[in-house]
Amino acid sequence: MATPVRVAIIGTGFSGISAAVELQRKGIEDFVMFEQAPGLGGTWFYNRYPGAEVDLESHVYSFSYERYDWTRTHADWRELLGYLNHVAAKHGLLEHMKFNETVEDITWSDETRQYTVTSSSGEDHGVFTAVISAVGFLNIPLVPPFARGETEFEGAMCHTSRWIEGLSLEGKKVGVVGTGSSAVQIVTEAEKVASEVKIFQLEPNWLLPKNSRDFSDVERRLNRFAPVYWYRRLRLYFDYDKRQYFSSHARSTGRTNRRKHAEAQEFMRRELGDHPELLKLATPTFPFEGRRTVVSDTYYRALTSPHVTLVPHGVKGLTKSGAIDANGDEHDLDVIVLATGFDAANYLGNFRVHGEHGVDLHEQWAGEPEALLGLMVPNFPNFFIMYGPNTNSIPLVSFYQAQAKFAAALIGRLRGKTGSRVRVRNSVFVAYNDWVQDQLAKTVWAGTTNYFRAHSGRGKIVSQWPLGATPYILATKLFRRIGTRID
C-alpha cells in the first residue's frame, strides 16, 4: 500500500502552478499552495506598471500542455494573469491555494522526517512530506538608499513591482530611476501622456528590437489550430536553444554574441544616429550580454521626444518637490518610479529554511547560493527550489516544467516503501557546481558587474545557467537518477 504524501508549494506563479500540475500527474492531490499576495500570478500579480509585458514571445512563454488565444506576440501582464487563472481553474488548483499567507519559516524534523511551515497568519498547517519553493529569485524589490523609509518627497513614489493602484502619469512630471527592462517599458508609456519625463541613468544597457505587435485576426484563427500553435512554439524553442548552444550567446567569441552585438549597434545607430549626444549617452561600455540585454522597439524613439530628458547621473537624494541627482542638480517631479530591479542574489530571502540537525540554509550558503540543478541542496531532504541558483535562462517556462517534473517524480517515489526522504548526493552536488562555475567563468558575465553575482565571498555568478533548455532538461532526467538517493 502506498504511503500518503503531503506537499507544500510556496508561490502561485508560473513555477508554482507548474509544480502543482506535475504533482497531480503523479496522482498527488494533497498539496497546499501558499501565496503572500491576495491573488495568484506571482510576478504577474505584482508587476502592473504601465507597459509591463513579457520579454519572450507568448507561445514559448506558456506551458507546453496549455494553449491559449494570445492577442499579442508578447503578452502584457493582464493577459498573462488571465492565462494563469485559466490554467489554475482548468486544473482545479484554486481550492489548494491560501492567499495573503506569507511563509516565514520552513523547518525539517529529524524525528518525523517531515516539514512544518510557519506563516504570517499563525495557523497550524499540519506537517508536510516535502516542500517546493516556487518564489523565484526576482521577488525582493531593490530600493535605493534615498527612497528607504520616510522621505520628504510629497509626490507619488513607488517601485515598478509595487505599483500604486490608480496612479496616473497623465500630465505629470515623471522621473524614472534606472534603464533596465521595466524602465524602458514605463518610459515608453510615460512619454505618451506625461508632460515631462526624466530618466536617471547610472549606466546604459545593450538593447535589441523586440518586434512586438498584435496578432491579426487571421493569425489568431490560425493559432487556434493546434498544429499551427505547436509549430510556432517549437520553432521559438529551438531558436533560443540554438542561440545558447555552447554558450554562444554569452561568450564574446560566440557566433550568437557577435551577431546580436552587431544587431544592437546597428539598431542604436539607426534610431539615434541623428542625435549624437544621445547616441553617446546610450552606448554601454561593458561587453554585449554582460548584463541582461533589454528588448524594446520604442525606447530609443522615446528618448528623442522633446519632453524626455536622459540624465546621465543617478539620484542621491529627494526634496519635497523632486530629486537631486549625483551632480547636485535638482529636478522638479510629481512622480518618481523606481525601476531599480531586485535583490536577485538573495535566493529565498523572504523566509528561513531549517534542514537536518537544524542547519540554516542561508547560513550554509553564506551569501553564495548553490544547488544541484538549482533544485536540491545537501542537508535539506525533500526540499526543492524552482528557478533556483544557476537556472536563469530562456525559455523560462521550459525550465519550470523540467524542474516540476524532477520534484514531482522524486516526491512520488516517497509513496513507496523504500524510504521517507530524498537527498542529494554530496559528491554529485560538488562536481556539478564546479562544472557550472567553470563554464560560467568563460562567459562575458564573469568580467562584468551585474546582478547575476553573489553579494559576498568571491562574487561568483549565482543566477545564470550557461547553456540552453534542452541540455538542462536532459540533465534533470539524468541527475534525478544518479544525483539523489532515497532512504
Q: Contact at 8 Å (CB) between 45 and 138?
A: no
**Residue 457 — very low, low, confident or very high, per pLDDT cuts 50/70/90?**
low
Cell of 267: 539598431
Pick from 421, 441, 364, 475: which is nearest to 129 by CA?
A: 421
Nearest to 107 by CA among 353, 449, 391: 353
Which residue, chain included where needed, has cell 558575465? 445
Residue 19 scores a pLDDT above 60 = yes
449-455 contact pairs (CB < 8 A, 24+):
449/286, 450/290, 450/291, 450/292, 451/291, 451/292, 451/341, 451/342, 451/344, 451/345, 452/291, 452/344, 452/345, 452/392, 453/345, 454/345, 454/367, 454/368, 454/369, 455/345, 455/346, 455/367
The pLDDT confidence band at residue 455, using thresholds 50, 70 and 90, is: confident
- Answer with the residue of higher pLDDT: 172 or 417: 172
Tens digits of residue pLDDT in 74-111: 999 999 999 999 999 999 999 999 999 999 999 999 99
pLDDT at residue 283, as a whole number: 98
Instruction: DSSP for 85-139, please give it.
Output: HHHHHHTT-GGGEE-S--EEEEEEETTTTEEEEEETT-----EESEEEE---SS-
Q: Identify the bridge partners of residue 32 per DSSP, sorted by sequence position.
A: 8
pLDDT(1) > 60: no
For the chain, how many residues are written?
A: 487
At 416 the pLDDT is: 81
Q: Do domains 7-140+344-486 and 145-214+255-338 have the same CATH topology?
A: yes
Mean pLDDT value across the chain: 96
CATH no. for 145-214+255-338: 3.50.50.60
Asked if the model's pLDDT at residue 375 lies above 70, the reply is yes
Position 446 scores a pLDDT of 95
pLDDT for 198 equals 98
Positive or negative, the CA dihedral 215, 218, 223, 228 is negative
Which stretches within 108-225 are classed as H helix? 181-193, 217-223
pLDDT at position 458, please? 72
- 199 within 8 A of 360, measured Cβ to Cβ: no
Cβ-contact 316, 149 below 8 angstroms: no
Segments making up each domain of the chain, as ranges: 7-140+344-486, 145-214+255-338
Q: Which of 247, 244, 236 is nearest to 211 (CA)?
A: 236
N-term to C-term CA, the chain: 18
In which order are the strands placed within the sheet that holds 156-159? 156-159, 335-338, 173-177, 196-200, 308-311
Q: For residue 51, is pLDDT > 80? A: yes
- Between 176-190, 192-206, 301-315, 450-464, the lowest mean confidence (pLDDT) is in 450-464
pLDDT tens column, 207-256: 999 999 999 999 999 999 999 999 999 999 999 999 999 999 999 999 99
Closest to 13 in 3D by CA, of 49, 43, 38, 34: 43
According to the model, what pLDDT value does residue 459 have?
82
Residue 372's φ and ψ, nearest 5 degrees, are -75, 115
Per cent of the chain over pLDDT 90 is 96
| pTM as predicted | 0.97
Per-residue confidence at 418, pLDDT binned at 50, 70, 90? confident
Looking at domain 7-140+344-486, its CATH architecture is 3-Layer(bba) Sandwich (3.50)
Lowest mean pLDDT across 171-185, 348-362, 414-428: 414-428
Tell how strand 173-177 and strand 196-200 pair up: parallel
DSSP class of 213: -
pLDDT (tens digit per residue) in 269-324: 999 999 999 999 999 999 999 999 999 999 999 999 999 999 999 999 999 999 99
